[in-house]
Chain A
Amino acid sequence: MTYEELLEELIYKDDRIVIVTAENRAVLRNIPNKIGDKFIDTGITEQTLVGVSAGLALRGRIPVSHALATFLTMRAFEFIRTDVGIGNLPVKLVGGFPGFLSEANGPTHQAIEDVSIMRGIPNVNVFCPADNEDLLICLQKVIESSNPFYIRFNNSESVIKHNNDFEIGKAEVISKGSDVVILVYGVLFSQAYNAKKNLEKEGYSVGLLNIRTPKPIDEQLILETAMFSKLIVTIEDHFITGGLFSILGEIFLRNKITCDVFPISLENRWFKPLLFNDILRHEGFTGNQIAERIKKHIQK
């Protein structure tokens, strides 16, 4: 099943749902002709897209609103913060091509601060599906949530069968481990999974957590992880500032604990624009490279 097929199904079940887009139709090819006036295209207008979505929500609708992740979260930031955030309206903001998925577009299109700035807005939650299957498992609950959500869209191919039980604020535990626990969200899940396999072959006990919603974060699970694991690794196609590494820092400070946390993220720079697999190799984010980086950290 595809994202838009599920959306179509949900729309038939729930009259409140409408699809809005700022002419971002990459994953909305077929649905416009199927749902009639419940498909609203505002043109290349991220600010108006968010305003219109807020207006629709005021009328009881649940707008699922699409634009490229960079322009949605940054050009329209104040509209999201002011109209959707202060209003606490159940608008679902879908950011397309976030992080490494922007491929060869270049830094103008690299949303690698989106998790940071979206989670900083009160009331706005953040959902980062690991792949297409994870997206489809979680989507209905995210859409039906009374909160606004930022969805870091990712419909990449799944490498594992995900747990069907999804609760907002709960991470998916792929495995537990005592040497290393890897925390990851979004498209890098499959690379983290490969890294885990590699490390296990070499005798390490490796845990893997799919952080489906960086906000609300699964604080309890992370605290338990910090208690029982020698090393936590955070992996994200995001600036180190404000993402998962920062979230862990906040949790540990709040709870007056510390532990060894190794961040694998982007340090204060944009990444080299290339095709997806080449970005992974160039930036050191393939499963093999991640495993090597973790081993090096352990052996330090």
Chain B
Amino acid sequence: MEAQKLLELKNIAYSVRQHIIKMSTGGGCFIGASLSCVDLIVYLYKEFLNINKDNLNDLTRDYLFLSKGHVAPVLYGTFAEIGLIDEERLKNHLKPNDYIYWHPNRNIDGIEFHSGSLGHSLGIAIGVAIDCKMRKQDNKVVVILGDGELNEGSNWEAALVASAKKLDNLIAIIDRNHLQANMETEDLIPLEPISDKFEAFGWGTRKVNGHDFEDLEKTFSKFPVKNSAPSLIISDTVRGKGLQSIEARTDKWFANFTYEEVEILLKELK
């Protein structure tokens, strides 16, 4: 990756993290969970997906479904940076005059669908991917899942269907930050080996460092992972990435900081 491109992506990710931190007061947001997938989502919108403010109604564009809906601030922050929404609008977080709350709302340009109830988006994305195939279009359909979200059985049901329908236009990405709401995923309902499970279901799988733009580029350049099969990317990340004071902490999934704490966090941001 060119140095200039890398710098640009890092700068955007930095700004998105600033937006998220600013949304973590006055009612708060799912800050820890959000910070883990910033780099991934910035990479996808900037480099991988054909989605912009002019093609939202175009059936040939790409799609991104955020199944772990509680990290909506990442989308809003990213949308502000890539021009899908006005940055000023982020100040409407939790205000009655807008639709910016803890989970995504489709009234905001760029949000594909509401989410928040875990285990829903993969099925919806399969419907979209089937229709793209039916229309002989080569759009990419991406779904971002939480790792804890894999506890939900509907994901496994949908995983079987995606494989049966040979949806090589579908990419599920697991934000593998190793933590679910209250504890480490492996201490509750162990998920590993995730790759083996999905491969046994017929998917092609690959791992990526979800905070390394060059690795993201390398990983997403080869798609689909396996011919005639849906792809699973396990994005290895750290919850709270960028703020050392909350990184990998189980008690900072959601946080509502004071304005003073937000100022300190903004200075701490790397």
Contacts and interface: CB of A to CB of B under 8 A. Distances in A.
Interface of A: 18, 37-38, 40, 42-43, 45, 47-48, 50-61, 63, 78-79, 82-83, 86-87
A177 B32 CA distance: 67
Contacts of A60: 59
A37 B134 contact: yes
21 contacts: A40-B130, A47-B123, A48-B158, A51-B121, A51-B123, A52-B126, A54-B123, A55-B123, A55-B130, A56-B127, A56-B131, A58-B112, A58-B113, A58-B124, A59-B131, A60-B59, A79-B123, A82-B120, A83-B123, A87-B106, A87-B114
Given A48-B158, A52-B123, A38 B113 contact: no
B59 A59 contact: yes
A85 B59 CA distance: 23
Nearest to A53: B127
Most buried by B among A37, A50, A51, A63: A51
Contact of A51 (B59, B127, B134): B127
Most buried by B among A37, A48, A60, A78: A48
A282 B122 CA distance: 45
Contacts of B113: 54, 58, 83, 87
Most buried by B among A42, A78, A82: A42
Contacts of B160: 43, 45
Interface in B148-175: 154, 157-158, 160-161, 164
B106 A43 contact: no
Nearest to B105: A86
A18 B119 CA distance: 24
Given A45-B157, A48-B154, A83-B120, A59 B126 contact: no
Contacts of A82: 114, 117, 120
B128 interface: yes
A82 B121 CA distance: 11
Contact of A59 (B106, B120, B127): B127
B126 A51 contact: yes
B131 to A, nearest CB: 4
A297 B121 CA distance: 52
